[in-house]
Homo-oligomer: A and B are copies of this chain.
C-alpha cells in the first residue's frame, strides 16, 4: 500500500533530551511540565481548546529507529506482540498521551503530565472527553493488576 504522509502541526519542548528516563505513562508524570508550540499556520485551529482541562496529543516518536513486532515490557518479564503493548518501538511509531492543559498563550500550549521527548513532532490534538470511552466490562489481558506499577515507571527502568 501507498505510504501515508503527515505534516507536523507543532513541536514539543520537554525536559527529556533522550528516550531514557521518560515516564512510561502521562498519568504518572503530573509534575513534569512542557510546552507544545503550534506552528502559526495552524494556530486558528486552537479556538475554544482552552475550555478543556486535558487534551489528547498524537505525536511522532521521532527517536525510535528500530521498530519490532515483539516487545518485552518490564511489567511481567514476558514477551508480547507489540500491538498488545504500549512499547514505542512499533511499526508506525505513533504516540498518544492525555496531558493536562494548564493554559494557552497565543500558539503555545503549556502542559503537564509530559511523557514525550524534547523536539517531538506533533501530528494532531483532540479534546479529551472521558465520557466517550468505555469503562464497564473491560478486560485488560496480561496487564491485569499491573496498571499501578505502569503509572510510576520510567523508560530504561527494568
A18 within 8 A of B: no
* Secondary structure class of chain A's binding surface, majority of residues: mixed
Are A94 and B141 touching (Cβ within 8 A)? no
| Size class of the A contact interface (CB-based, 8 Å) | 35 or more
Q: Is the C-beta of A33 less than 8 angstroms from some C-beta in chain B?
A: no
Within the assembled complex, what's the spacing in Å between the Cα atoms of A55 and B126? 18
B123 pairs with A140, CB closer than 8 A: no
Q: Which residues of B contact A45 (CB under 8 A)?
A: 69-70, 81-84, 90-91
CB closest residue in chain B, given A99: B134
In this assembly, does A77 line the interface, its C-beta being within 8 Å of a C-beta of chain B?
A: no
Residue of B nearest to A113 (CB): B134
- B94 touching A123, Cβ below 8 Å: yes
What 19 additional pairs, Cβ within 8 angstroms, besides A4-B6, A83-B124?
Answer: A3-B5, A4-B60, A7-B92, A27-B134, A38-B83, A45-B70, A45-B83, A45-B90, A48-B81, A48-B141, A51-B142, A53-B138, A55-B83, A58-B94, A83-B126, A85-B127, A91-B124, A131-B140, A132-B147
